[in-house]
Amino acid sequence: MAGLPFDQRDGEIWYNGAFVPWADAKIHVLTHGLHYASCVFEGERAYGGHVFKLEEHTERLHESGRLLGFTIPYTPEQINDATVELLKRMKLVDAYVRPVAWRGSEMMGVSAQNNSINVAIAAWEWPSYFKPEERLKGIRLDQAMYRRPDPMTAPSRSKAAGLYMICTLSKHAAEAKGYADAMMLDWRGHVAEATGANVFFVKDGVIHTPDPDCFLNGITRRTVIDLARKRGLEVIERTILPEELEGFEQCFLTGTAAEVTPVSEIGPWSFQVGEITKTLMEDYDAAVRAKGGLAVEAAE
């Protein structure tokens, strides 16, 4: 089913408390989440039939809804149980999982206090986010035109659908020029992230990563920081200016979809796929395939 449009696939989707045929998981064209972006979601991956850090993802989904002013009408336990059952029903072992919650159609306008809150979970097979041959040698990033907004202008700590519009535009523009993705600055001109992944740099054996004060502090980001520190590596979270990129030796992205992906180029700046990046790729792969969390033995 890899090449099929997502509305034409087979299987089931968990939709407002029940498993329904994939083709029946529909919304009306006048849904508030479509018109006003009152929608939150998660991106999760299953390895060997188990979703990595499922509980953390579900907690963030609930928090994202709260930040958008609505309460998800299913407990974290109900959503977790539904996710596990969905993977079984879909007979998926290594998969991508997409929970999503949105305001319905009772009111159509900026105000939507009386709208129902809908929740769905879908899962499908999904290979590497970037082409394998690109990922191993390091992907190339363009410099995005759009910037991550001031958190006083958008709910930046929510994984909200509307926040990704500028990501789509930036990624499309990068791909049109032959790049795999784009690096975004924040509204102050500081290095922020890629369009759907956090970014790290390495210099003199020390790892540097932007302070996530206006974008998501990713679950994969936190996992990789933990893995690096278990290795005895120093990780510094700080403001990073674009002119500093010339002095960094390595660069990599982290995200549920991207996992740990080396970067060979950001605009005019070049990086090597060094040992620290390779080690964290291996440690992360071991962690996600170990039941019960971090693969401590792989990181000691």
Active-site pick, 159, 177, 203, 278: 159
Cβ within 8 Å of residue 206, ≥6 positions away: 233, 234, 235, 236
> Pick from 174, 181, 97, 165: which is nearest to 131 by CA?
181
> Pick from 251, 253, 238, 255: which is nearest to 203 by CA?
251
Burial class (CB in 10 A: 0-12, 13-18, 19+), 274: middle
Q: How far apart are CA 41 and CA 157, in angstroms?
A: 12
Q: How far apart are CA 251 and CA 183, in angstroms?
A: 12
- Report the 10 Å Cβ neighbour count for 292: 6
| 26 catalytic per annotation | no
Residue 36 Cα distances to 40, 70, 144, 245, angstroms: 12, 14, 24, 37
Pairing type for strands 250-255 and 235-238 reads unpaired
Cβ–Cβ under 8 Å, residues 9 and 1: yes
Cβ–Cβ under 8 Å, residues 115 and 69: no
- Tokens 């290095």 belong to which residue? 191
2: enclosing H helix or E strand? none
- DSSP H helical segments within 231-288, as ranges? 275-288
Pairing type for strands 139-143 and 259-266 reads parallel
Q: Hey, which residues are catalytic here?
A: 159
